[in-house]
Structure 1
Amino acid sequence: MKRVGNVVRTAQGLAIARADADGAGEAADIGDVVVDESLSTVGRVVDVFGPVERPYVAVTPNDGVELASLVGQQLYAR
């Protein structure tokens, strides 16, 4: 699994995660399945944008996932 980053905000129905400052791991790819710390599926990566060293990752949530509850959580890509 790849570490996607921490969810910093929600925007337009997406969860926006910021990659870790230490640059650990490789960046998530568009289409990757995203899970939370309990390995529950959260959604899919739909965009990677921003600086190469520490990009933002946009995740579209699955049905039934409450976006507000994701803020502050660490996400991972399978």
Structure 2
Amino acid sequence: MQKLGDVVRTAQGLAVVRTPGEEYPDLGTEVVDEQLDAVGRVVDVFGPVDRPYLAVSPSEDVALASLVGLKLYAR
């Protein structure tokens, strides 16, 4: 598994994840939490090249507000 980073906020129905470095997964990659529960999928990459942000579209059964502060991973 690849660490995506921490959820720093929510915006427009998406979780905003700050990556730890330049590496990030492809769009559409499945995202899981530390318990390996499915959280959503990567839908966009934006921000500075050296440490971009990822927009994660949450799964239907995931409460978006509950993701803030969590560490997320790419499966």
Determine if contact 1:29/1:48 at 8 Å carries over to the other structure: no
Q: How far is the alpha carbon of 1:26 from its aligned partner?
A: 2.7
1:31-46 matches, within 5 Å, as 31-46=28-43
Please, what TM-score do these two structures have when normalized by structure 1?
0.91
Q: Tell me whether 1:12 sits opposite 2:9 in the alignment.
A: no
% identity of equivalent residues: 65
- Structure 1: where are the runs of 5+ without partners? none
Please, what TM-score do these two structures have when normalized by structure 2?
0.94
Aligned-CA RMSD value: 1.2
For residues 2-37 of structure 1, give each alpha carbon's deviation from its aligned partner in whole angstroms, at most 9, with x where no partner exists.
1111000000100000012xx2x8312101000001
- Structure 2: where are the runs of 5+ without partners? none
Q: Runs of 4+ in structure 1 displaced over 3 angstroms?
A: none
Determine if contact 1:2/1:26 at 8 Å carries over to the other structure: no
